[in-house]
């Protein structure tokens, strides 16, 4: 990629130093313990604190350090799963409730930012959905009809999106969408939560969640939180071994940020209907009056199942430069993890098979900021004993006979990944692994992750994901080991960075230095 690119750092992470919070050092009690300090966890904690509840929030890092800091922060009721599909899967009323809940989420984010005086660059703007060049408008026609039936009566068919350099052809205009700076918002929300009496702890890894009459959350370094209710808002619920993971798939999504002359791209949200699709927005660049950041995302693939060849970042840059020739250097690139439920909507509510006082929020479908806000609203109502019209739609235990085909396809894909135990290794020797890269090596009946760092040291770990035993794969774009079954991710040294796995890859024979071979040296 061109330009001076920040290594896998989002524009949000680069621009806002998030405060550190103390580690939980002793046992404590609360009415509600929230695990995870992203958008879903913090919205739930804040709204519960407004209700006068005693709330403790725990995070193994700090506020916004997970997937919330890796979003592109589109705030939209134009959903990734089209309304005509949601109508088929959830009925006319389900599609209406989906539109209503996402619209309410945008409104709530706006109202909180105003009420709490959070300077988070919140802005209302239009969104435009367009099709690839040369494709008929059939899908747009169906979506227009379904979106209006779902209550979005302001959606219109337009001859093209307002992009002078890029003729999209016919598109749908969704009015009153939004965008904001997610980490500025979360920093302000955390401050408001603490002002309301909320307690927030960072550097506190949760290892056990126990519901029931004597519910508690246990941490790796010892202290516990006893609570009347527990909310697991960790993008993917680590407390669920299998059930939820059969209902959704994990995908990597990639983003680049390019400098563009200020005003050269009409400020709006944009999405195409390709598979994988692309999504676009703009963001101000601090201390740069002449440029703004053109943020382009897409090139999604199942986690751990990336195809060989051109990197996703390079594909994004190629796609972008064809359509936005005024774009300058790529100055940011990052990626995120998206959970796609088989029936297109998130899972928010009581955890299946658990006690009634353990709740989860997962399955963001690429709509993480609005889904996380819906989670805050819905879970607050459930914990406070109030009825909520969205509870059945987002119920994690819901039945979805209309999406059995998607369920079967998703789980057949997972089953095929276990065939990785039957194949050979990607390399026959550690000497074939170049510096800064990784590969799978077969040793007898076992498979080993081999990573060679930039100094030449070779690090070996079991290739078996500790969640459910799938063989991990090397992600060269992100320098990580990714599980192709349920989306767990590990850094090059085998340390878990994303669940559902709760432990690291097991070391094999310890780490040791191996002299690189002539082939490895020449491949650098």
pLDDT at 95: 98
Look at 209-223, 248-262, 510-524 and tell me which has the smallest mean pLDDT: 510-524
Residues 6+ apart with CB under 8 A from 213: none
User: DSSP string spanning 263-300?
Assistant: TSS-SSEEEE--SS-EEEEEEE-TT-SSEEEEEEEEEE
Query: What is the mean predicted confidence (pLDDT) over 232-247?
Result: 78
- Euclidean distance between CA atoms 424 and 492, whole angstroms: 21
Look at 78-92, 94-108, 397-411 and tell me which has the smallest mean pLDDT: 397-411
- Euclidean distance between CA atoms 110 and 124, whole angstroms: 9
Token pair of 275 as six digits: 């598979």
- Mark out the alpha helices in 326-461 (DSSP H runs): 368-383, 391-394, 404-417
Q: Higher-confidence residue: 419 or 70?
A: 70
Query: What is the mean predicted confidence (pLDDT) over 32-59?
Result: 98
Strands (E) in 60-137, as ranges, are 74-75, 123-130
Residues of the chain with pLDDT > 70, as a percent, come to 90
Residue 510 has pLDDT above 80, yes or no: no
Strands 156-158, 224-232: pairing kind: unpaired
Q: pLDDT band at residue 365, thresholds of 50, 70 and 90?
A: confident
Distance between terminal CA atoms of the chain?
A: 17
pLDDT at 401: 56
The listed range with the strongest mean pLDDT (345-354, 384-393, 433-442) is 384-393
pLDDT tens, position by position, 433-464? 888 888 888 887 788 989 999 888 899 999 88
- Euclidean distance between CA atoms 5 and 258, whole angstroms: 10
Is residue 489 within 8 Å of 497, Cβ to Cβ? yes
- Euclidean distance between CA atoms 368 and 340, whole angstroms: 11
Q: Higher-confidence residue: 31 or 418?
A: 31
Residue-averaged pLDDT of the chain = 89
Angle at 114 between CA 112 and CA 115, to 5 degrees: 65
Instruction: Count CB neighbours of 466 within 10 A.
Output: 20
pLDDT at 2: 45
Find, among 258, 250, 206, 271, the residue nearest to 75 by Cα.
271
Is residue 235 within 8 Å of 36, Cβ to Cβ? yes
Find, among 197, 189, 18, 24, the residue nearest to 115 by Cα.
189
Look at 27-31, 202-206, 298-302 and tell me which has the smallest mean pLDDT: 298-302
Query: What is the mean predicted confidence (pLDDT) over 258-278?
Result: 95
Residue 400 has pLDDT above 50, yes or no: yes
Q: pLDDT band at residue 3, thresholds of 50, 70 and 90?
A: very low
Query: What is the mean predicted confidence (pLDDT) over 35-57?
Result: 98
Please report the domains of the chain, with CATH numbers, ordered by start residue: 15-71+183-246+344-404 (3.50.50.60), 423-522 (2.102.10.10)
Token pair of 302 as six digits: 């199942």
Find, among 111, 137, 142, the residue nearest to 124 by Cα.
111
Buried b vs exposed e over 68-96: b needs ≥16 C-beta within 10 Å? Answer: bbbbbbbbbbbbbbbbbbbbbbbeeebbb
Query: What is the mean predicted confidence (pLDDT) over 18-27?
Result: 95
Instruction: Classify residue 426 by its DSSP letter.
Output: S
pLDDT at 377: 98
Query: What is the mean predicted confidence (pLDDT) over 315-334?
Result: 96
Q: pLDDT band at residue 501, thresholds of 50, 70 and 90?
A: confident
Query: What is the mean predicted confidence (pLDDT) over 411-417?
Result: 55
CA gyration radius, the chain: 23
Note the Cα 275 to chain centre separation in Å.
18
Is residue 253 within 8 Å of 300, Cβ to Cβ? yes
Q: Higher-confidence residue: 35 or 301?
A: 35
Bridge-partner residues for 279, per DSSP? 271, 297
Query: What is the mean predicted confidence (pLDDT) over 49-77?
Result: 96
Find, among 340, 300, 281, 274, the residue nearest to 139 by Cα.
274
pLDDT tens, position by position, 93-117? 999 999 999 999 999 999 999 999 9
Residue 209 has pLDDT above 70, yes or no: yes
Query: What is the mean predicted confidence (pLDDT) over 26-50?
Result: 98
Look at 70-84, 196-210, 342-356 and tell me which has the smallest mean pLDDT: 342-356
pLDDT at 412: 58
Find, among 71, 11, 21, the residue nearest to 45 by Cα.
21
pLDDT at 308: 66
pLDDT at 524: 26
- Euclidean distance between CA atoms 65 and 44, whole angstroms: 17
- Euclidean distance between CA atoms 360 and 205, whole angstroms: 17
């Amino acid at each position: 990629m061109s330009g001076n690119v920040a290594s896998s750092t989002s524009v949000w992470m680069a621009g806002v130093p998030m405060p550190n919070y103390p580690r939980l050092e002793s046992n404590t009690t609360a009415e509600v313990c929230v695990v995870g300090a992203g958008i879903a966890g913090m919205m739930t904690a804040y709204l519960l604190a407004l209700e006068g509840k005693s709330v403790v929030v725990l995070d193994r890092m700090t506020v916004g350090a997970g997937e919330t800091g890796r979003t592109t922060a589109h705030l939209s009721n134009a959903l990734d799963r089209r309304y005509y599909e949601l109508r088929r899967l959830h009925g006319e009323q389900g599609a209406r409730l989906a539109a209503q809940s996402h619209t309410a989420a945008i409104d709530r984010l706006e109202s909180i930012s105003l009420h709490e005086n959070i300077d988070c660059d919140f802005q209302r703007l239009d969104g435009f959905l367009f099709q690839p060049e040369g494709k008929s408008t059939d899908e747009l026609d169906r979506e227009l009809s379904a979106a209006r039936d779902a209550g979005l009566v302001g959606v219109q068919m337009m001859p093209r999106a307002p992009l002078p350099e890029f003729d999209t052809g016919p598109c749908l205009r969704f009015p009153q969408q939004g965008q904001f700076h997610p980490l500025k918002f979360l920093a302000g929300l955390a401050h408001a939560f603490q002002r309301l009496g909320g307690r927030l702890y960072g550097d506190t890894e949760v290892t056990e969640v126990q519901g029931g009459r004597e519910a508690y959350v246990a941490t790796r370094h010892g202290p516990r939180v006893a609570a009347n209710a527990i909310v697991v808002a960790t993008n993917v619920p680590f407390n669920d071994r299998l059930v939820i993971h059969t209902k959704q798939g994990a995908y990597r999504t990639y983003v680049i940020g390019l400098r563009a002359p200020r005003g050269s791209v009409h400020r709006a949200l944009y999405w195409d209907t390709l598979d994988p699709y692309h999504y676009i927005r703009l963001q101000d660049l601090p201390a740069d009056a002449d440029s703004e950041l053109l943020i382009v995302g897409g090139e999604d693939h199942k986690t751990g199942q990336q195809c060989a060849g051109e990197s996703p970042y390079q594909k994004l840059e190629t796609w972008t430069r064809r359509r936005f020739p005024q774009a300058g250097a790529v100055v940011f690139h990052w990626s995120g993890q998206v959970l796609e439920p088989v029936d297109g909507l998130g899972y928010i509510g009581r955890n299946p098979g658990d006690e009634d006082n353990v709740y989860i929020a997962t399955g963001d479908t690429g709509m993480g900021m609005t889904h996380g806000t819906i989670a805050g609203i819905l879970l607050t109502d459930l914990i406070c004993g109030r009825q909520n019209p969205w509870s059945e739609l987002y119920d994690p235990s819901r039945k979805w006979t209309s999406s059995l085909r998607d369920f079967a396809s998703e789980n057949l894909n997972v089953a095929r990944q276990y065939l990785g135990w039957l194949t050979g290794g990607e390399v026959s020797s550690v000497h074939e692994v170049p510096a800064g890269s990784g590969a799978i090596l077969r040793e007898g009946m076992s498979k080993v992750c081999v990573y060679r760092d930039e100094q030449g040291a070779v690090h070996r770990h079991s290739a078996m994901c500790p969640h459910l035993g799938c063989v991990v794969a090397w992600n060269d774009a992100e320098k990580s080991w990714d599980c192709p079954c349920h989306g767990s991710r590990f850094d090059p040294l085998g340390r878990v960075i994303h669940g559902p796995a709760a432990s690291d890859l097991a070391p094999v024979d310890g780490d040791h230095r191996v002299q690189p071979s002539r082939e490895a040296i020449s491949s650098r």
